[in-house]
Amino acid sequence: MLDAGAGGTGGDEGQEFMTLPELAAKYPSFVVRKDWTPASRSVSPETQMIDIFVSSLDPRYVTDHRTLLRMCRLLQVGWLPLTEKPLIKKEKSIPKKLADFIEQCSKAKGLHFVSDEAEREWQDACKDIKGGEVWRPLADALFTDVFGRLCSYDAVTKWFERNNFKVTEWAAYCHINSQGQVAVRTKPQVSTNYENQSYWRKVVIPETSKAEKRVEIQPAPFLKTWYKDDTMRTYERVDCIPPSKTGCVVPPNVYNTWPGFRAAKLPAVPDQQVHELILPILQHFRSVICANEVEVQYFLAWFAQQVQDPATKTEVGIILTGPEGAGKDIILTWYTKYLLGVDVALQVSKASHILGEHATALQNKVLCVLDEANFASLKDHVNLLKDLITGETLQVNPKGKELFVTQSIVNLVFTTNYDDPVPMAPGDRRWVAFGCNDSKKGDTAYFNLLGKSLNDTTARAFYQFLLKFDLSDYGNFQAKRPHTQIYEEMKEGNLSAMHSFLSHECMAYAGEQPATYTSTAMFATFVKWAGDANFDISSCTLSRFGRDFRKLMEKTGSGVTKSRSKGNKTWIIEWSELKKCLEDCGLFNTNV
């Protein structure tokens, strides 16, 4: 080969040389582990090949410097044709990066490095190769392998297509960022990002009257070739398709953005250790988050649904309310980062991060935790919140990029210190609320101990527990919602001033005879009541009050009938029937 143990040096005709696989087997420390490097126009291809090769090696394991020198020299001339004469016109000095690497190897082994000796060995390698053509098969193999994997069009394509591909449905291209999210890009945008990207190509320059035929390695623009490549990585569409109990299979023409759960990649925990590891979590649910075992089991089932069947949403959002420092989100933060992982779950402190016009954070997310939820930041997003909880698709509209639609798999948890943080319709079916108590507030020892238990091992144990959790009773999470006191209070807090007024009147005149009102008199009574009760009705006019009251009157069994007295339109109100109508519609405020 190139050293004494492999057939000596020089160019004797009878020598036998190793093949490239034999070389890799004998010198595993020389195997190149990098897969691509950009073509540089300021460095000669021969020098760059050596720089790439050397930078991929570990100096701790390279012991045969002489063989390394000869391999690098072969890389320099491997692209030359057999007819090229002379093979090496001028003996150049040892490349600086190669000399620095050998010096680094020497120091790692406690040896003294002599630069003149390294230069002499380099020149010897030049003379050995110059002495004959028997080295050609190995030179060809080295060049083909290293060049092919590091510098060629195929090498650049392999690197580029890891995170870039074409989507025919959108007539556009896609880029996958470090979080696994899809960004749609037009052809001009792709070109702007990668227009300076090049690859190396071997070019034969024909003979002319002024110069002989020669071979050059030249940089070429990558995108110009890739755009015309009919084998480029292409999908028909992009979607997020997580595992499903229905056994849904991702079609081959669909790019699936689902990255998987973090805990699924952690080492398994013996089944007999699972309960002990997750006991602090269950105790926290029971002592702080939930008021009874029904609530605890629902809370656990809600989590288990995400783990067992992430493709099927619970269609219920959870609200955790309670005093600051009670411990509402300590488990949620750990669950989000350690069990689910940041690729499929996120925790934010501002509603705009998930509800803004150009928000993209919910893509691929099975869980979103919003801390410090408040009515002011959510009141303008009622319909969007409803759609996020129960909708099947998610519109992703990155600023300055193309809008696209993907499957929605997100489940929402809001934590808050407020009594009425979320806009909630009277007939709500999408929310469940848990009132967290402050029994552990200020208990530093308790939270320190709980925090120490929230690690990777516990994340894996809780993951295994949730995988086996029995969900047979939770086919419909909306129907199984615990109707907690705090939830009912939140619903009442969302009632309009008119419905609260009518609730007050029904209780004030309970058992009395029906009353007759003109619309003007009813509105005047409403305004006085609102002022006494500190309700803001600045946006409520007589016409709007009358319109809303007529809508209520149209309901069957409302207890309100129209009449006319002395030429004026009047309303006759049967208080007990109106109260029942309000209760049936979820519009009665018991706390008014």
Position 17 scores a pLDDT of 52
Position 275 scores a pLDDT of 96
CA distances (Å), 232 to each of 37, 159, 164, 256, in order? Answer: 20, 12, 10, 18
Amino acid at 180: G
Amino acid at 246: T
Position 6 scores a pLDDT of 37
Q: Which residues pair with 255 in a beta bridge?
A: 238
Token pair 């990558």 in the structure block, residue: 222
Position 565 scores a pLDDT of 67
pTM across the whole model? 0.69
Question: How far is C-alpha 431 from the chain's CA centre?
Answer: 25
Position 564 scores a pLDDT of 73
Asked whether 343 and 179 are in contact (CB, 8 A), the reply is yes
Fold category of 495-584 in CATH: Arc Repressor Mutant, subunit A (1.10.10)
Q: How many CA atoms lie within 13 A of 440 on its CB side?
A: 21
Question: CA 275 to CA 279: how far, in whole Å?
Answer: 6
Query: What is the C-alpha end-to-end distance of the chain, expressed in Å?
Result: 95
21: which 2 tokens? 């696989």
Q: Angle 174-176-180 (CA atoms, 0-180°, nearest 5)?
A: 140
Closest to 592 in 3D by CA, of 487, 497, 515, 523: 497
DSSP state of 133: S
Q: Angle 497-500-504 (CA atoms, 0-180°, nearest 5)?
A: 135
Q: Which distant-in-sequence residues (6+ apart) come within 8 Å of 183 by Cβ? A: 174, 175, 176, 177, 398, 401
DSSP state of 379: G
Give the DSSP H or E segment for 386. helix 382-390
Position 9 scores a pLDDT of 35
Beta-carbon neighbour count of residue 349 at 10 Å? 11
Domain ranges of the chain: 4-151, 156-235, 271-491, 495-584
DSSP state of 568: E
Question: CA 589 to CA 592: how far, in whole Å?
Answer: 6
Asked whether 336 and 347 are in contact (CB, 8 A), the reply is yes
Position 65 scores a pLDDT of 79
**Residues written for the chain:** 592
Question: CA 546 to CA 533: how far, in whole Å?
Answer: 21
Position 490 scores a pLDDT of 86
Question: CA 278 to CA 453: how far, in whole Å?
Answer: 8
> Between helices 115-130 and 96-108, what is the axis angle to 10°?
120
Q: Which distant-in-sequence residues (6+ apart) come within 8 Å of 154 by Cβ? A: 148
Question: CA 589 to CA 498: how far, in whole Å?
Answer: 11
Asked whether 199 and 156 are in contact (CB, 8 A), the reply is yes
CA distances (Å), 364 to each of 329, 409, 462, in order? Answer: 22, 7, 22
Question: CA 378 to CA 92: how far, in whole Å?
Answer: 71
148: which 2 tokens? 């092919």
Confirm whether 271-491 and 495-584 share one CATH topology.
Answer: no
Question: CA 175 to CA 404: how far, in whole Å?
Answer: 13
For the CA atoms of 148, 150, 151, 155, the dihedral, rounded to the nearest 10 degrees, stands at 70
Q: Angle 23-24-29 (CA atoms, 0-180°, nearest 5)?
A: 115
Position 247 scores a pLDDT of 76
Mean pLDDT by 10 residues, the chain (592 residues): 36 49 67 63 73 79 79 73 46 81 82 80 74 66 77 88 93 86 88 89 82 79 94 92 83 90 96 96 96 96 96 94 92 96 92 84 91 86 91 84 83 91 85 94 95 96 97 94 89 83 88 85 88 82 83 80 75 88 84 76
Position 551 scores a pLDDT of 83
- Strand pairing category for 404-407 and 317-321: unpaired
Closest to 571 in 3D by CA, of 521, 497, 534, 512: 521
Q: How many CA atoms lie within 13 A of 89 on its CB side?
A: 3
Closest to 311 in 3D by CA, of 377, 240, 250: 240
Question: CA 261 to CA 249: how far, in whole Å?
Answer: 18
- Strand pairing category for 393-396 and 317-321: unpaired
- Tell me the CATH architecture of domain 271-491: 3-Layer(aba) Sandwich (3.40)
